Structure 1
Amino acid sequence: MMKPARAWATLVLLMPLMALAQDIPATPPTPTPLSAADTTAALSRAERLGKAIFLQDLAAERATDAIRAKYRAFGKDTRVRGWITEEHDGQYRVSYIDATPAVLYRIEMAADGTPAGEVQVLSEPAPLSAYETAAATARSLAMTAQVAPCAKTYNSVALPEGDGRWAVYLLPATTLPNVVPLGGSHRLDIADGRITASRGFTRTCIQLGRTPSKRGVTVVGMMVTHLLDPTPTEVHVYWSLWARTPMYVATTDGQLWEIREGRIHKRDDVAQAPASGS
């Protein structure tokens, strides 16, 4: 087995490409340290939510591709205002809705992003299910929030939290294949018909690169310093899965964390990497 020191001798960490928003304060606030039990809970939560966000986002992305491949008119259907993704029985039902809102198209997707059924083109718009209605309402409410944007367009993922509560994640969109738009990701908590809490996951519009490996140099991860939490968050897990690239997150306590395939591990075998805050 390769020793850790040797493994890291060939490690190339991709530092942020740019920070587009305000500069980071000279002395950012230091997150409150967590107990061992709270750290374990925070990491488990980040992994669970990050994977859930990714799987719903993947289902919607691949569903759109599948419908466009079969129905060219879909891309020009001006009635479509968005989509709702619902997990059930290990699959994802993606419903495209109009302004009513009512369902225009539906398709079942497997967890790996492949179609699990035929595209349903509804001859008449169909009413939303109770789940879809609640999800659409939560997303619409989240879109009214005043957040610092880092992209012209955003994708959204609505996750049920139980007891009528929802978490809506607003995620910057990009068309650049080697850019990972970490900065500007937000979470809005919805309950009782209002936004009860919100947070941004970065202080700037920071972007990471996922430049392909070149001859003689193997790129094995992206690197970011996180200033707002003592551990990586669900957004770090999501963007690592989205980029299909490991992410290394340095926190302000001098700890370095590795996110690989949706799992977070503490790296005790290496020194702190150079800081570039998010």
Structure 2
Amino acid sequence: MNRLFRLTLALLLAVPAVHAEDTEPAPETASPLSESATAAALARAEQLGRAIFLHDLAAERATDALVAQHRAFRKDKRVRGWITEEHDGRYRVSYIDATPTVLYRVEVLPDGSVDDPVEVLSVPATLSPYEAGAAAARNLAMTAQVASCARTYNSVVLPGGDDRWSVYLLPGTTSPTAVPLGGSHRLDIAGGQIIASRGFTRSCIQLNRAPSTRGAKVVAMMVTHMLDLMPTEAHVYWSLWARTPMVVVTGEDAIWEIENGHIHRMADDADNGTAR
């Protein structure tokens, strides 16, 4: 057992953690990246993971606000979904019908607070070009055949520029302690077609952040992930969503920690003679 694994084992014995594995090997063509390429890939994973989280949080808080402020919303069968759009340092959540037109709008700040009273449109509004593109991408993604790990899925649509979109399909859960990492997918869309897709796991991994039977609080989640050379935006998102650090093992000498949306390689700590 090498020094890095001894340090990691000491960390996990010292604090309660939950552990799951995704042991499908990485593609044979995968090869180590240069230091600059690794830094760029990690920065992109952090940026995308945080964006997914903030858009998803906005939709969650907007729905809560609509339920609280407009009782008829819960029974409004016209609603077919929502679109989130970042603008001016906040997030606009637009709820749409099958037409599609906009039925409700809610403005949410990055901390999840609702900035203004919800907007109930007496006359449904025409979608903006952004909303129309995002809605079309979401609708297309929802027709894709993907490996499902939950009865319900949430979606987050992120713009890619030049009529390109990335749609993230995220498993839903009603458990207050489950973290349904397994079954998360990304679909890339351009020109009205799905041009690429990927699942972030090979199985329906579900982490659990419930305290132990002796009352010890879980301070970290741990997952073995052999599909990539480093953590992905899905790991960053679920760590932020669970509000719990995540340790991701991608190889014998590749152990990463995600905390508050930031990724660092634990080997860096090991080389310095410390463990976090």
Establish whether TM, by shorter chain, passes 0.5. yes
Two-structure CA RMSD over aligned residues (Å): 2.1
Return the alpha-carbon distance in structure 2 between the equivalents of residues 117 and 75 of structure 1. 20
Return the alpha-carbon distance in structure 1 between the equivalents of residues 161 and 190 of structure 2. 10
Return the alpha-carbon distance in structure 2 between the equivalents of residues 141 and 166 of structure 1. 11
Percent identity over the alignment?
65
Task: Say yes or no: does 1:100 pair with 2:99.
Answer: yes
Return the alpha-carbon distance in structure 2 between the equivalents of residues 84 and 178 of structure 1. 27
Q: How does 1:161-240 map to 2 (within 5 A)?
A: 161-212=160-211, 217-240=216-239
Equivalent residues of 1:10, 1:218 under 8 A apart: no
Equivalent residues of 2:210, 2:217 under 8 A apart: no
Letter paired with 1:254: D
**Quick one: structure 1 residues 202 and 9, their matched pair in 2 at CA, closer, same or farther if it must change by over 3 Å?**
closer
Equivalent residues of 1:230, 1:253 under 8 A apart: no
Letter paired with 1:197: A
Letter paired with 1:98: D
Q: How does 1:42-57 map to 2 (within 5 A)?
A: 42-57=41-56
CA deviation map 1:227-274 (0-9, x unaligned): 110000000000000000000000025311000000001112469xxx
Return the alpha-carbon distance in structure 1 between the equivalents of residues 111 and 123 of structure 2. 30
Which stretch shifts more, 246-255 or 236-245?
Answer: 246-255
2:109 paired residue number: 110
Equivalent residues of 1:225, 1:249 under 8 A apart: yes
Return the alpha-carbon distance in structure 1 between the equivalents of residues 257 and 156 of structure 2. 24
Letter paired with 1:114: S
Return the alpha-carbon distance in structure 2 between the equivalents of residues 33 and 224 of structure 1. 20
Which stretch shifts more, 50-59 or 211-220?
Answer: 211-220
CA deviation map 1:16-51 (0-9, x unaligned): 3xx8xxx955x6645432111111011000000000
Equivalent residues of 2:26, 2:228 under 8 A apart: no
CA deviation map 1:152-207 (0-9, x unaligned): 11000000011111000000000101000000000000001100000000010110
**Deviation of 1:214 (Å):** 6.9
- Relative to total residues, which structure has the larger helix share, 1 or 2? 2
Q: With structure 2 as the length reference, what TM-score do the two structures score?
A: 0.89
2:274 paired residue number: none
Secondary structure of 2:108's match? strand
Equivalent residues of 1:24, 1:204 under 8 A apart: no
Secondary structure of 2:166's match? strand
Return the alpha-carbon distance in structure 2 between the equivalents of residues 167 and 32 of structure 1. 25
Q: With structure 1 as the length reference, what TM-score do the two structures score?
A: 0.89
The number of equivalent residue pairs is 262
Secondary structure of 2:181's match? coil
Gap runs ≥5 in structure 1: 272-278
Return the alpha-carbon distance in structure 1 between the equivalents of residues 216 and 69 of structure 2. 41
Task: Say yes or no: does 1:13 pair with 2:12.
Answer: no
1:85 paired residue number: 84
Letter paired with 2:17: L
Gap runs ≥5 in structure 2: 1-6, 272-276
2:134 paired residue number: 135
Equivalent residues of 2:58, 2:108 under 8 A apart: yes
Secondary structure of 1:219's match? coil
Return the alpha-carbon distance in structure 2 between the equivalents of residues 40 and 24 of structure 1. 24
2:246 paired residue number: 247
Letter paired with 2:181: L
